[in-house]
Amino acid sequence: MRGLTTPLQPKHSYPAAQNNPKKSESCNLYSHPVQFNGKNNDPLSRKVKPISCFASENPNRPILKETKPPLVVVGSANADIYVEIDRLPKEGETISAKTGQTLAGGKGANQAVCGGKLAYPTYFVGQVGEDAHGKLITDALLSGGVYLDHLTTVSNAPTGHAVVMLQSDGQNSIIIVGGANMSCWPEKLSDEDLEVVRSAGIVLLQREIPDFVNIQVAKAARTADVPVILDAGGMDSPIPLELLRCVDIFSPNETELARITKMPTGSFEQISKAVEKCYELGVNQVLLKLGANGSALFTKGEEPLRQPIIKAAKVIDTTGAGDTFTAAFAVGLVEGKSKEECLRFAAAAATLCVQVKGAIPSMPEKRAVFNLLQSA
């Protein structure tokens, strides 16, 4: 895989960031390390200092001095409105919820906080609105140790939100309202945002923001030999081939794999055939999340690697478990772990996630993951 042939040997990590999100004054709606530039106008906030760069073999990718190349997550941030119910309502039926509350979430924000809590320097590129939900998400990202130099507050769209219907067995059904995640993006991303992508150790994308944003990011990463993981979660529209061909690892769950390939995924043999279809679309590695059946990493021309789940004492809420798995796998890769180690590390992180209610609140600390791995 490009950019990960030699394990990264970082010297030390960043402290927790406390930058405020940048402000956008205008909005265009659409239907369809690093030189870190501080974008915070608050003189009381601490900005990330620019990092010295030296020429590398690839002129598009600077070498960072005395720091880890960061995990960069480009994606969505939602306020998750939780309702706890015994079962899903039938058509035309009204039922009562046991409880309701609003927690920070969104696939992009989930993955960013997971990276931060796993003690890896993480930047989040995304958008929130000028509302209480935006502050909720900003506070959650900061508490998770995520750098917010590239988080934009937009004035013409509300923060994205989701209604999460949580059933008593821990399973959930989710309805998403895109808000700032799906609108107000500039037609062309800023040089500062693309620079943080080019100088990353690894980039995570999902499908809760417009495809044209993901395509720009993936292309910028490819020019700098930065590996990209695309989480298939989000929009159920066809994934542009232009995006897939710039992705190093494609990460669906079995339902998403079936939808994308239009092939059955009821057995591992059927899954393997569906993965072959992904190879035809231009993807060489598929990181598959299989729920209670664990996970598997398929690499073109190689035997798949399988990882069973690490059993949880009790499943409270599966929301965010897939995001935790994907982000933890990415952290393992950029830290130089073997693929087998990455799968196990990610499985342990996901197990801890499902034992806590909420997406961002359930992201595990690195020490907890190591402790679980030692005891499992």
Burial code (b: 16+ CB inside 10 Å, e: under 16) for 151-167 equals bbbbeebbbbbbebbbe
Neighbours of 132 (CB within 10 A): 12
Query: Does residue 353 have a known ligand-binding role?
Result: yes
Beta bridge partners of 299: 285
Tell whether 292 is in a known binding site. yes
Per the annotation, does 65 bind a ligand?
A: no
* Residue type (1 letter), 102: T
Q: Is 172 annotated as a binding residue?
A: no
Whole-Å CA distances, 131 to 148, 179, 223, 265: 17, 12, 36, 41
- B/e letters for 339-359, b = 16+ CB within 10 Å, e = fewer, are beebbbbbbbbbbbbbbebbb
Residues in the chain, total = 376
Q: What whole-number distance in Å separates Cα of residue 216 and Cα of residue 141?
A: 24
Active-site residue 42, yes or no? no
106 labelled binding-site residue? yes
> Is 312 marked within a binding site?
no
**356 is known to lie in a ligand binding site:** yes
Say if residue 107 carries a ligand binding annotation.
Answer: yes
Residue 20 annotated as part of some ligand binding site: no
State the catalytic residue, choosing from 149, 193, 211, 323: 323
Q: Is 134 annotated as a binding residue?
A: no
Angle (nearest 5°) at CA 136 between 318 and 218: 70
Whether residue 6 is annotated as binding a ligand: the answer is no
Return binding residues.
78-80, 106-110, 208, 253, 289-294, 317, 319, 322-323, 353, 356, 358, 362
Q: Which residues are annotated as a binding site for K(+)?
A: 317, 319, 353, 356, 358, 362
As annotated, the binding site for substrate includes 78-80, 106-110, 208, 323
The residues that are catalytic are 323
Residue ranges for the known binding site for ATP are 253, 289-294, 322-323
